[in-house]
């Protein structure tokens, strides 16, 4: 398979071009550690041009009929489907995930565009009867204005497509700072919108030094809304900057999902889902199960089953057809996972499988199943974002609910049980934006996705995702002046 990889320009006001400074930065293939390409670095002058473009384009785009926007977006989705093979190949080269996952992500991206295109046509307002005579009260939905969005490297298309589709379906323009580790597949996504006829300046794409770009764009008066996906630490900084300038913000941040298996669960079904969802994207998924809490009677069988399934994982270059799990996406992630495992081991954890980097070229780290990990270990408190599986046991539902709610995160949680009473308590009492019972419950495009507490604020996808790019305006009209 060819390893050709495009150089990535910025997209500003409809033109693909290098930054004014002509600075470039390298892209590394995490499976080989080879430099495969480069992306253009934006500086302040480029950001100023993108702001002006987004501002001018917004004034026209907000007046474009929703049906016209819909048609362009549906064409963009079709182009993404047509280009899936090439885009997936590029994504695997820069991000590491197996080709099948990259294809799935790209096709889901097309479905996401379709859904927002449809929903944008149904962004209805409402008529509210007045307390006074001869007064018409109508509420209309208006796009909030130019958006500054920041999307990460773990899902280069899916994290970006939610932001772009929600914003432009609502009538906003957007400046997206794409992921510097995985810039090409995100750029290919943006390209389908351009090729489908979305006018110049409606979508702008920049790369560069993330903090320089966010520090410049967030306070800028042209920008009316911020959307960020990434770590809790960075999200808190950006949210406080947004608050200082009274900007709307949506924050999709980290999680630390409890995965609870009760004694009455269907063990093999639970194992199948909890392994598949852990190995997906090598565990670099904000809604991956991360704290495995198994009721005492099933504990030994669960550990045994997890180890058995972990050993079947084919770790390798995502371009190879037999690979089921690719490398970690970059050297920072490899170092972080190695540190978490080392610290837990130093604190007395037992490793049942994995526990060491595989090879010394490529950022390969195997599924690492651990027991006896003390609650004080960093991996039980910080988002692990890698293929580490700390398994603990519990006796009672009260005890496990306390553990599930122990951390300030609240993105996703999972439980396996045959009892509707237990399922009800879990659904009601776990503090989390998403609770999956007896399956992963991975939210579809039409359902709201997002966390609470340290996992963020606001939702992407679902009608909430579209509405986060719109204001409600009340027009109260007395018809007898």
Site string for ligand NAD, 175-204 (x = CB under 6 A): ----xx------------------------
Q: Which stretch binds ligand NAD (CB under 6 A): 37-45, 105-113, 246-254, 366-374?
A: 246-254
Supply the minimum distance, in Å, between the C-beta of residue 55 and ligand NAD: 21
Interface with ligand NAD in residues 291-350 (CB under 6 A): 332
133 contacts: CB under 8 Å, gap ≥ 6: none
> 4 or 211: whose CB is closer to ligand NAD?
211
Supply the minimum distance, in Å, between the C-beta of residue 152 and ligand NAD: 3
Supply the minimum distance, in Å, between the C-beta of residue 265 and ligand NAD: 28
Q: Is 254 in the site for ligand NAD (CB under 6 A)?
A: yes
Cβ burial of 214 (10 Å; 0-12, 13-18, 19+) is buried
Q: Which stretch binds ligand NAD (CB under 6 A): 151-159, 242-250, 344-352, 419-427?
A: 151-159
Q: Which stretch binds ligand NAD (CB under 6 A): 30-38, 206-214, 272-280, 391-399?
A: 206-214
* Dist. CA 400–CA 392, nearest whole Å: 10
Phi, psi of 360, rounded to the nearest 5 degrees = -125, 15
Q: Could you tell me how many residues of this chain bind ligand NAD (CB under 6 A)?
A: 21
Q: Which of 46, 114, 252, 454 binds ligand NAD (CB under 6 A)?
A: 252
> 6 or 210: whose CB is closer to ligand NAD?
210
Supply the minimum distance, in Å, between the C-beta of residue 188 and ligand NAD: 17
Q: Which stretch binds ligand NAD (CB under 6 A): 167-175, 229-237, 342-350, 392-400?
A: 229-237
The answer to whether the Cα torsion of 95, 100, 101, 104 is positive or negative is positive
Q: Is 208 in the site for ligand NAD (CB under 6 A)?
A: no
* Dist. CA 365–CA 331, nearest whole Å: 11
Cβ burial of 13 (10 Å; 0-12, 13-18, 19+) is middle
Supply the minimum distance, in Å, between the C-beta of residue 456 and ligand NAD: 8
Q: Which of 25, 32, 137, 231 binds ligand NAD (CB under 6 A)?
A: 231
Residue 180: strand, helix, or coil: coil
Q: Is 148 in the site for ligand NAD (CB under 6 A)?
A: no
> 254 or 289: whose CB is closer to ligand NAD?
254
Q: Is 286 in the site for ligand NAD (CB under 6 A)?
A: yes
Residue 36: strand, helix, or coil: strand
Write the DSSP string, 333-390.
Answer: HHHHHHHHHHHHHHTTPEEEE--S--SSSS-----EEEE---TTSGGGTS---SSEEE
Q: Which of 29, 154, 165, 371 binds ligand NAD (CB under 6 A)?
A: 154
Q: Is 6 in the site for ligand NAD (CB under 6 A)?
A: no
Q: Is 283 in the site for ligand NAD (CB under 6 A)?
A: no
Q: Is 234 in the site for ligand NAD (CB under 6 A)?
A: yes
Kind of pairing, strands 35-40 and 126-128? unpaired
340 contacts: CB under 8 Å, gap ≥ 6: 377, 378, 379, 382, 384, 386, 388
* Dist. CA 206–CA 210, nearest whole Å: 10
Q: How many residues does the chain have?
A: 481
Q: Which of 210, 427, 441, 448 binds ligand NAD (CB under 6 A)?
A: 210
Supply the minimum distance, in Å, between the C-beta of residue 162 and ligand NAD: 11
Supply the minimum distance, in Å, between the C-beta of residue 35 and ligand NAD: 19
* Dist. CA 202–CA 59, nearest whole Å: 10
Interface with ligand NAD in residues 363-402 (CB under 6 A): 383, 385
Supply the minimum distance, in Å, between the C-beta of residue 159 and ligand NAD: 6
Phi/psi region, residue 453 (left: phi>0; alpha: psi -120 to 50; beta: rest), is: left
Instruction: List Cα–Cα distances, 410 to 256, 290, 364, 453, in angstroms.
Output: 8, 12, 29, 6
Q: Which residue is nearest to ligand NAD (CB)?
A: 230
Phi, psi of 437, rounded to the nearest 5 degrees = -120, 120
Residues recognised as catalytic: 252, 286
What the block records as the tokens of 146 is 């130019």
Q: Which stretch binds ligand NAD (CB under 6 A): 119-127, 134-142, 228-236, 402-410?
A: 228-236
Interface with ligand NAD in residues 121-140 (CB under 6 A): none
> 11 or 379: whose CB is closer to ligand NAD?
379
The answer to whether the Cα torsion of 355, 359, 360, 366 is positive or negative is negative
- List interacting residues with ligand NAD (CB under 6 A): 150, 152-154, 179-180, 210-211, 214, 229-231, 234, 238, 252-254, 286, 332, 383, 385
């Amino acid at each position: 398979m060819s390893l050709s990889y495009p150089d990535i320009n910025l997209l500003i006001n409809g033109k693909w071009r290098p930054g004014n400074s002509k600075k470039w930065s390298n892209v590394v293939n995490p499976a080989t550690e080879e430099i495969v390409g480069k992306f253009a670095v934006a500086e302040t002058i480029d950001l100023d041009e993108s702001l002006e473009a987004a501002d001018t384009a917004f004034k026209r785009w907000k007046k474009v009929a929703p049906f016209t926007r819909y048609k362009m977006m549906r064409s963009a989705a079709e182009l993404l489907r047509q280009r899936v093979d090439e885009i997936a190949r590029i994504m695997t080269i820069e991000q590491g995930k197996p080709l099948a996952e990259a294809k799935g992500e790209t096709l889901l991206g097309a479905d996401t565009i379709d859904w927002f295109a449809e929903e944008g046509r149904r962004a209805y307002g409402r008529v509210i009867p007045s307390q006074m005579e001869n007064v018409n009260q109508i509420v209309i939905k208006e796009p909030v204005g130019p958006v500054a969005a920041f999307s990460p490297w773990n899902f280069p298309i899916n994290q970006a497509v939610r932001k772009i589709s929600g914003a432009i379906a609502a009538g906003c323009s957007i400046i997206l700072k794409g992921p510097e580790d995985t810039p090409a597949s995100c750029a290919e996504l943006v390209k389908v919108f351009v090729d489908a006829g979305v006018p110049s300046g409606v979508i702008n794409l920049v790369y560069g030094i993330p903090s320089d770009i966010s520090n410049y764009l967030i306070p800028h008066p042209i920008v009316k809304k911020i959307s960020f996906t990434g770590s809790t630490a960075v999200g808190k900084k950006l949210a406080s900057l947004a608050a200082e300038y009274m900007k709307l913000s949506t924050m999709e941040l980290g999680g630390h999902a409890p995965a609870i298996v009760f004694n009455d669960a269907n063990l093999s079904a639970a194992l199948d889902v909890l392994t598949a969802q852990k190995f997906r994207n090598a565990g670099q998924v904000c809604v991956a199960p991360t704290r495995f809490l198994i009721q005492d009677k099933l504990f030994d069988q669960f550990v045994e089953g997890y180890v058995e399934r972990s050993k079947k994982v084919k770790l390798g270059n995502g371009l190879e057809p037999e690979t089921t799990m690719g490398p970690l996406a970059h050297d920072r992630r490899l170092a972080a996972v190695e540190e978490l495992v080392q610290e837990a081991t130093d604190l007395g954890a037992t490793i049942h499988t994995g526990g060491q980097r595989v090879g010394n070229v490529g950022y390969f780290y195997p599924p690492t199943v651990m027991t006896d990990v003390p609650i004080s270990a960093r991996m039980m408190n910080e988002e692990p974002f890698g293929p580490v599986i700390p398994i603990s046991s519990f006796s009672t539902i009260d005890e496990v609910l306390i553990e599930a709610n122990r951390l300030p995160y609240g993105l996703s949680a999972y439980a396996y049980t045959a009892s509707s009473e237990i399922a009800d308590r879990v659904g009601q009492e776990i503090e989390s934006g998403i609770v999956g019972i007896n399956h992963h419950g991975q939210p579809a495009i039409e359902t709201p996705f997002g966390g609470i507490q340290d996992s963020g604020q606001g939702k992407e996808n679902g009608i909430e995702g579209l509405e986060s790019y719109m204001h409600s305006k009340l027009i109260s009209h007395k018809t007898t002046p």
